Each structure stands twice: as C-alpha cells, then as structure tokens.
Amino acid sequence: MTELLALPDGRRVLRLPGGAPAAFCLVEPLAGAVLVGTPRFDAALLHALPPVRFIVYPSARSASDVAAWRDATGARVVAGIGEPIDGPVDERADGTIRITGRLDFLSCSGATRGTIALRSKGPPALVFFGPALSQAHGWPRLTPDARDWSWENRVIGALGIAALEFDYAFCDDHGAASRIGPRAAPQVAAAIETLS
C-alpha cells in the first residue's frame, strides 16, 4: 500500500496494490474506511487496512472479487445505476445517496453506462473519477477509449466536471506519472477546454 495523501483533518488516501485499474482506500474520520474499487481479494491486505465500512465501484472495471470483499468486511457496496457489477450491490447512487454529509456521488456516465465519481467535500475537496478521466500521463484529462459506452456522454459529462471545484483527483489509471493535486480543478478544466 502506498499513501498518496494525508490531510490535517485526518483524511488519507491509500493506493492499494494490485495493478490496473487502480483501487484506493479513502480513510474518512466521519465515515471510516471507504474502498474505491477493489483489487483481487487478499486477506493480508484486508488486515492491513482500517475497518472498511463502504465499498464504492466507480464502474464495473474496478470491481474485482466483489462478493469476497463484501463478505469479509461487512461493508455496504455502492455502484451507479445501470452499472453491471458482478456481485452484490446494496445501494445504487442515484443523486440522493450520501455516505455522510461530506461524501457524495456524481454521475459521470460515458466510459460505462453507470460510471460514478465519489466526492469528499473539503476543504480540500477530493474526487475519485474512476474511468471518467485519465491521469496516466499527468493531470486528469478526457481521453477517448475504445471501450467507451458513449463518447458523447463522456464529453457532456466533462463539461460538468470542468465546473466542479476540487483540489485532488484520482482515476482508474493512476500511475507513477499521475498528478493528483493540489489545485487539480483548474488543470482538469484547462485540459477539457482544449476539446472544444
């Protein structure tokens, strides 16, 4: 596990081992640990994590061993409406679901039918975009992918993302060259504007 971010308010972001797509653990003092995507189930990894209360799947692409993670943690599983997760889902993020007053979900369909983002409101604000954006080569940006459910939906959704205020961003293809923040929003907005 690699700690990517530690904030004075106690929030931390950990990158879980296991390759691509990336899986993260958001340690949230008010909500407990939230897994954002899951790698293959690993009991040793589970025991190294703080108690997991929620598992969020931004898309089916980051959903490995869903039932095993849910059974081992007892966590509630959240995914987007219409997203075909191979395993049990307790709640579908429909715009009204919140984990706490600080954690909510944003619809980002396009990469897949039901892609969602998890937002931890700040300050500073963090957003886990899943496959909605790509950050393999620096700041998150909108990049076409042959697996896209709808490129048009991704572009329309990106306009909403460009209007968001956030300080740190995390995506499915997070890697060594990825930039996460601070002040990620202006960088993301500038990259999206180059599309128009």
99: DSSP letter: S
CB count, 10 Å around CB of 132?
28
How far is it, in rounded angstroms, from Cα 46 to Cα 48? 5
In the predicted structure, residue 149 carries a pLDDT above the cut 90: no
* pLDDT level of residue 159 (50, 70, 90 thresholds): confident
Its pTM stands at 0.94
CB count, 10 Å around CB of 84?
12
* pLDDT level of residue 153 (50, 70, 90 thresholds): confident
Interstrand relation of 116-120 and 103-107 (parallel, antiparallel or unpaired):
antiparallel
Residue 67 pLDDT: 98
Per DSSP, the three-state class of 19 is: coil
In the predicted structure, residue 58 carries a pLDDT above the cut 70: yes
Mean pLDDT of 90-106: 87
In the predicted structure, residue 42 carries a pLDDT above the cut 70: yes
Answer for the pair 27, 11: CB distance below 8 angstroms, yes or no.
Answer: yes
Mean pLDDT of 3-10: 97
How far is it, in rounded angstroms, from Cα 80 to Cα 196? 27
Beta-bridged to residue 117, according to DSSP, are 106
129: DSSP letter: E
How far is it, in rounded angstroms, from Cα 45 to Cα 52? 12
Token output for 12: 């931390």
Residue 120 pLDDT: 96
Decide: residue 128, CB within 10 A, 0-12 exposed, 13-18 middle, 19+ buried.
buried
* pLDDT level of residue 194 (50, 70, 90 thresholds): confident
In the predicted structure, residue 11 carries a pLDDT above the cut 70: yes
Mean pLDDT of 144-158: 83
In the predicted structure, residue 100 carries a pLDDT above the cut 70: yes
In the predicted structure, residue 35 carries a pLDDT above the cut 70: yes
